[in-house]
Structure 1
Amino acid sequence: MALGSFVCAIGLAVLSRAGGVVSLYIAWTLIDIAMALTLYEAAFATINRKYETGSRQAISTLTLFGGFASTLLWPLTAKLDTVFGWRDTNSCFAVMQLPLCMPLHLWLGAAPVRQPRHHLSAEDQGHTLKHALRHPAFWTLALAISANTFVFSAMSVHLIPLLERLGLSLSTAVLLASLIGPMQVAGRIGEMTLGRNTSLQIVGILTFAMLPAALLVLVLFGANAWIVALFCMLYGVSNGILTIVRGSIPQALFGRQHYGAISGALAGPSLLSKAAGPLAAAALLRPEGGTTMLLIVLLAVSIASLVFYLRAVSIGSSPSIAKAFDKNTA
């Protein structure tokens, strides 16, 4: 993660002085590499290494603070852009990476783990990546996360124009969409308090179910502002808690010893669906129509994600299948 901060500083510096397409692509390539090294997936793997117990609570706390990132940084970025311009704003962010983010990541890496690693049980050690790739629960979970990510990425880009297509004014659409951020935080607070003693698998089922429920509401009653507000709240809560589920469920199903490799492999397909979601939605949301078709497609994909997750939890929690798998991979 410290290396990611360094790469991010270089990428932002290049972006601040970009003068053409080539330099722009170079800058964003570096920034994307830095994002892979520093954001949630890398942070979750680090937490899993540092906390022999209580990693779920630590992940919940991290995502709670992460939920305020856009709330604080977007207005700050807009203010800096107004005062200094976008080039100097990126230069400021590049400089901040070196004295602020990089030392914190280095300090985190030097901090000791909570308990000696030789105390890990065989169950905690779990499966290696090679074994996990042969487990059917891995692929159904990957499909569940990918389908869910497809919907969220499509909606994150096209939500405002979609709500306008449903008959809302631009100001109303923006106001209702602004509910999503606070509801993400509310969902994470709820998981940390009300859901802390609930099985992660059950929390995941509720989280995956909220998305098709929200889209169904929008399909049936999309022209009503109060219904759209309900959609945004359900959508926000689902998206907020899903981050925690994605960070914790690999350990629950496959053990913690090889968490980083397994969670990284799970993230691969979802990155592809994250890139495909906005493009597919744009193709469906044509200037002359396609609103209903887009919502139906997203609803179908969200239902598929719930079905895949239920299957993954069922397979991963089955004692007979788990024992047979462990015997075959021993």
Structure 2
Amino acid sequence: MQAGLGLHRTAVAGAFSFGLLLAALSAPRIGRWLDAGHAAAVFRAGAALAVAGLASLAMARGAFGLVLGWSLVGLAMAGLLYEAAFALVGRAFDDAGERLRALAAVTVSGGLASTVFLPLLAWVVDTVGWRGALLLFAASVVAMAVLLERQVLPVLSRPIALPKEAPAGVAHRKVPLAARVVFPLATFAAAGLTTLLVPLLVQRGQAPVAAASALAGFGLAQLPGRLWLLGGRRRVSVALLVWWPLVLQSAGLLVVAMSGGLVAAALGVGVFGLGAGLHTLARPWLLQGLAGPALAGRWNGEVARVQGIARAVGPVLVVAASATLGMPAVLVIVALVLLASVPAARSLASGARRP
């Protein structure tokens, strides 16, 4: 896009970041609509916005076209990606174990974005160009929307009522502060790792292709834990999902920061990815247990808003900090902050154990 439109790199990245910001800011409102039983309308609107946004990007001739396209795609992401899917799936399963397996199925499928679809996208762009690729994927969204309409929404979008035992004023309960801290910190840590890993390894003498290969392991490393949860039927410890992943992510960051070679860095990325893969499931499953199905959409949306902001500002902050402190020091600091959030995560897990 930068070469085809003759724009500065900052303008291209800025348009994308603006779309991410819109997705984050829209998440709480989308969650409330899902809680109110409007899942089908949210997904239909999201699909329409996605098609319009991809088509706008394909026809863009300058910065305004990029901002318009990414704005539409950002709003579409708020209605179609994990947050909306988690709320929809969570409401469809009363049993906590079955709900966890269903969420794992969603994240395993979502993991294909980095393990399969990203290389596929690169091949399509090489074959038909980035404009042709965008139009092709707009057509694929139309096909996805038809599939959703026929096979998914009639089953998963049934309205529900507040449980009879719900206390008065349940609709006004606020998201625990710990949830607003723990999950965005994990998102910030992931943004920091993916931003700094390749330049850190290149600085240490590794070839760019080898460094990128180590980063590619991040997506693969998230799958084993999710597949294990998808196939298992035993009860899962709340700690396994909520605070042990933070320990794994902290350990992975420390290994990367102190590693001297490619193998050790790849090992650190793998450990971090294993924790991140489990922690992705923790938020929707935990918040559903704490809030109940009637509030899960709003709570997920509010936490997702903070996570989206962390995802958008994370790369900028870690790059700015590394210019002064150095990349290894920044990774160590992020790891220590993540470890410091473990007590807050344990308090969340403790709350989930109560009936």
- Coarse TM-score class (shorter-chain normalised): 0.7 to 0.9
Matches within 5 A, 1:202-221: 202-219=240-257, 221=258
Residues 84-93 or 163-172, more deviating = 163-172
Check whether the contact 2:289–2:352 (CA below 8 A) recurs between aligned residues. no
Check whether the contact 1:132–1:254 (CA below 8 A) recurs between aligned residues. no
Amino acid at match of 2:273: G
Cα–Cα, structure 1 residues 57 and 120, in superposed 2: closer, same or farther, change >3 Å? farther
Which whole-Å CA distance do the structure 2 matches of 1:109 and 1:15 have between them?
Answer: 28
1:110 and 2:154 are equivalent in the alignment: yes
2:341 aligns to what SS in structure 1? helix
Which whole-Å CA distance do the structure 2 matches of 1:147 and 1:224 have between them?
Answer: 27
How big is the shift at 1:308?
A: 2.4
Consecutive unaligned residues of structure 2, counting only runs of 5 or more, are: 1-42
Q: Could you say which residue in structure 1 is the equivalent of 2:260?
A: 223
Cα deviation digits, residues 82-106 of structure 1 (max 9, x gap)? 22111111011112222x1112232
Cα–Cα, structure 1 residues 189 and 148, in superposed 2: closer, same or farther, change >3 Å? same
Q: TM-score, normalised by structure 2?
A: 0.80
Which whole-Å CA distance do the structure 2 matches of 1:129 and 1:265 have between them?
Answer: 14
Q: Could you say which residue in structure 1 is the equivalent of 2:106?
A: 62
1:270 and 2:314 are equivalent in the alignment: no
Cα–Cα, structure 1 residues 202 and 76, in superposed 2: closer, same or farther, change >3 Å? closer
Amino acid at match of 1:233: G
Which whole-Å CA distance do the structure 2 matches of 1:216 and 1:256 have between them?
Answer: 38
Cα–Cα, structure 1 residues 209 and 121, in superposed 2: closer, same or farther, change >3 Å? farther
Q: Could you say which residue in structure 2 is the equivalent of 1:328?
A: none
Q: Could you say which residue in structure 2 is the equivalent of 1:15?
A: 57
2:135 to 85, 91, 94: 91
Q: Could you say which residue in structure 2 is the equivalent of 1:296?
A: 332
2:121 to 62, 72, 77: 77
Q: Could you say which residue in structure 1 is the equivalent of 2:32?
A: none
Matches within 5 A, 1:41-52: 41-52=83-94
Which whole-Å CA distance do the structure 2 matches of 1:142 and 1:90 have between them?
Answer: 35
1:197 and 2:225 are equivalent in the alignment: no
1:132 aligns to what SS in structure 2? coil
Which whole-Å CA distance do the structure 2 matches of 1:249 and 1:272 have between them?
Answer: 21
Which whole-Å CA distance do the structure 2 matches of 1:71 and 1:104 have between them?
Answer: 23
Amino acid at match of 1:51: F
1:122 aligns to what SS in structure 2? coil
Check whether the contact 2:161–2:294 (CA below 8 A) recurs between aligned residues. no
Residues 195-204 or 277-286, more deviating = 195-204
What is the total number of aligned residue pairs between the two structures?
310
Q: TM-score, normalised by structure 1?
A: 0.85
User: Aligned Cα RMSD in Å?
Assistant: 2.5
How big is the shift at 1:56?
A: 1.3
Amino acid at match of 2:253: L
Amino acid at match of 1:306: V
% of aligned pairs identical?
A: 26
How big is the shift at 1:27?
A: 0.3
Consecutive unaligned residues of structure 1, counting only runs of 5 or more, are: 323-330
Which whole-Å CA distance do the structure 2 matches of 1:126 and 1:186 have between them?
Answer: 41
How big is the shift at 1:252?
A: 1.9
Which whole-Å CA distance do the structure 2 matches of 1:276 and 1:119 have between them?
Answer: 37
1:5 and 2:42 are equivalent in the alignment: no
Cα–Cα, structure 1 residues 306 and 15, in superposed 2: closer, same or farther, change >3 Å? same
Q: Could you say which residue in structure 2 is the equivalent of 1:30?
A: 72
Check whether the contact 1:212–1:299 (CA below 8 A) recurs between aligned residues. yes
Cα–Cα, structure 1 residues 196 and 159, in superposed 2: closer, same or farther, change >3 Å? farther
Cα deviation digits, residues 260-316 of structure 1 (max 9, x gap)? 111111212111111111010110232x871232122211222233232123334x2
Amino acid at match of 1:88: G
Cα deviation digits, residues 147-166 of structure 1 (max 9, x gap)? 11111112223321122234
How big is the shift at 1:70?
A: 2.3
Cα–Cα, structure 1 residues 83 and 292, in superposed 2: closer, same or farther, change >3 Å? closer
Check whether the contact 1:147–1:304 (CA below 8 A) recurs between aligned residues. no
Amino acid at match of 1:50: A
Q: Could you say which residue in structure 1 is the equivalent of 2:144?
A: 101
Cα–Cα, structure 1 residues 111 and 165, in superposed 2: closer, same or farther, change >3 Å? same
Residues 288-297 or 249-258, more deviating = 288-297
How big is the shift at 1:244?
A: 0.9
Check whether the contact 1:126–1:257 (CA below 8 A) recurs between aligned residues. no
